[in-house]
Amino acid sequence: MKIVKRAAALSAVLAGMLMLQGCLVGAAVGAGAAVVGAGASVVGAGVDAVTTSDEESRAKREREQRQWEREQRRCERRQQQGKAC
């Protein structure tokens, strides 16, 4: 009977995941693991592994901005030399 309840709960979680995106999928997977009986530390680590902190997001945006600016400067130099970008 326990197996049937666990299977039903896991099925509900998996069905719900189809409607979720991004970090929410990781949280749903973590919740599904908790339903099946995984330890709380495993669930917390799983959710933490798939989420991105604000600091990480900011650093990524800054890297992308610097890369874009470098590309723009390179393109401007090439245009000044009469070449295509």
Q: How many domains does the chain fold into?
A: 2
Structure tokens at 16: 């719900």
24-77 tens-digit pLDDT:
556 666 766 665 565 555 556 666 677 789 999 999 999 999 999 999 999 999
Query: What pLDDT score does 66 carry?
Result: 98
**Is 42 found in the same domain as 83?**
no
| pLDDT for position 26 | 65
Residue 37 φ then ψ, to 5°:
115, 15
Expressed in angstroms, the distance from the first to the final Cα of the chain is 67
Query: Once rounded to an integer, what is the mean pLDDT over residues 8-17?
Result: 76
Give pLDDT, residue 27.
Answer: 67
Specify whether 44 is located in the same domain as 62. no
Q: Could you tell me if 84 and 46 lie in one domain?
A: no
Could you tell me the pTM of the whole model?
0.39
- Domain span including residue 84: 53-85
Token pair in block for residue 7: 């299977």
Q: Residue 10: name the closest of 47, 40, 37, 36 by CA.
A: 36
What is the predicted pLDDT for the residue at 3? 82
